[in-house]
Structure 1
Amino acid sequence: MSKSIKLLAAIGFVAAVSACAQQEEEYVVVEPEPISVEPVYTGKYK
């Protein structure tokens, strides 16, 4: 085999191994937003 084919095969192998490597899952906690805002008392007539 020529050197260029061996080089391309090696690069492809390294890319495949790195793509299939065990990846640590990221744990994200999202605070839920309130569904509605409670009305603020402003007086009977305004």
Structure 2
Amino acid sequence: MSKSIMLLAMAGLVAAVSACSRPAPQQEFVVVDPEPISIEPVYTGKYK
């Protein structure tokens, strides 16, 4: 039973090392200017 435990421990160690050694993928950072929700009303005078 101790051989199977050691085998599982070694497999877990190999999996952890291989997962950590992989470089992280480069992520793109995109900035988008939001469009205005509504247009500000323009003052045109009292009776126009």
For normalisation by structure 1, the TM-score amounts to 0.52
Q: Which residue of 2 aligns with 1:27?
A: 28
Q: What residue ranges of structure 2 are gaps of 5+ in the alignment?
A: none
User: How far apart are residue 12 of structure 1 and its match?
Assistant: 2.0
Deviation of the 1:42 alpha carbon:
4.2
Match of 1:39 in 2: 40
Identity over aligned pairs, percent: 12
Q: How many residues align?
A: 44
**Alignment correspondent of 1:9:** 10
Cα deviation 1:14-41 (Å, max 9, x = unaligned): 122112202221112021347xx87331
2:28 and 2:42 map into 1 onto residues whose CA distance is: 40
Q: TM-score with structure 2 length normalisation?
A: 0.51
Q: Structure 1: which 5+ residue stretches go unaligned?
A: none
CA-atom RMSD, angstroms?
A: 2.9
